[in-house]
Amino acid sequence: MRIGVFGGSFDPVHHGHLLAALTLAEHLGLDQVRLVVAAHQPLKEGRHGASAEHRLAMVESAVRGVGVLQADRIEVDRVGPSYTVDTLRAFHRAAPSADLVLLLGADAAEELPRWREVEEVRRLARVEVFARAGAPGGTVSVPRIDISSTDIRARVRRKQSIQFWVPPAVAEYIARHRLYVAEGEDRDG
Q: Nearest 10 degrees: CA dihedral of 55, 132, 42, 61?
A: 10
Instruction: Please give the helix or strand (H or E) that residue 177 lies within, else none.
Output: helix 168-177
SS3 at position 166: strand
As a whole number, mean pLDDT of residues 165-184 equals 93
For residue 60, report the phi and psi dihedrals to the nearest 5 degrees: -60, -45
- Domains (ranges, CATH) in the chain? 2-144 (3.40.50.620)
pLDDT attached to residue 106 = 86
The percentage of residues in the chain with a pLDDT greater than 70, rounded to a whole number, is 88
Instruction: Give the pLDDT confidence of 41-65 residue by residue, as tens digits.
Output: 555 555 568 999 999 999 999 999 9
CA pair distance 47, 40, nearest whole angstrom: 10
Please tell me the total number of residues recorded for the chain in this structure: 189
